[in-house]
Amino acid sequence: MLPASSAGDRDRAGGGVVKTGSRIALITTGGTIEKTYDELGGVLTNRVSNLDVMLAQLELGGIELSRVGLMNKDSLDLTEADLELIIATVAHYVRDHDGVVVVHGTDRLAETGRLLDQRLSGLRVPVVMTGAMRPYELRHTDATQNLTEAMLAVQVLEAGVWCVMHNRALRFPEVVKDRSRMTFVTEAELTESR
């Protein structure tokens, strides 16, 4: 356990406890985490956001949350204009928030994270990318766990761009999707596993 400061908070640079009243922007772009079952088509689609249902299940006391529903797309369908919009939106919210969480499809999460890391140099707050390998509506989803972890991590990680999922916080640009294990790892870990 890290030592507490005199104010009862821990220093973000070293990782630690959240200060009360954290202003967090939650930017949603879609992805598997937000897929819902379309009974007419018999498929999972990104038509209706279910993130508010997930958020209602979480205890978020002490957080001032700015919910930004930017888009609701499968990340494989993101255009260059969409990526630019995500970058511009994150750049806007890092100015006056203590952290930013971006909910994103996992197929291109690493690509977007690397772009954010390259384009938003000198960040003063953490930007956390998260998503899910299995939709929220499925019984064995990882959506709630990943969202919960991201909401905590964004308050304690040092400034930079991060991927937070499956009980891990990985810093960009060294993040890649391991499709065989259905999780995110560092480039070195992926190389070692081959």
Nearest to 86 by CA among 29, 147, 26: 29
Q: Is 186 considered catalytic here?
A: no
- Which one of the listed residues 29, 32, 89, 130 is annotated catalytic? 32
Nearest-angstrom CA–CA distance, 112 and 50: 22
Q: Which two tokens stand for residue 14?
A: 């070293």
How crowded is the C-beta side of 23, counted as CA atoms within 13 Å?
Answer: 7
Nearest-angstrom CA–CA distance, 16 and 27: 23
**Cα 71 to the center of its chain, rounded Å:** 15
Nearest to 103 by CA among 124, 75, 80, 64: 75
Catalytic residue annotation = 32
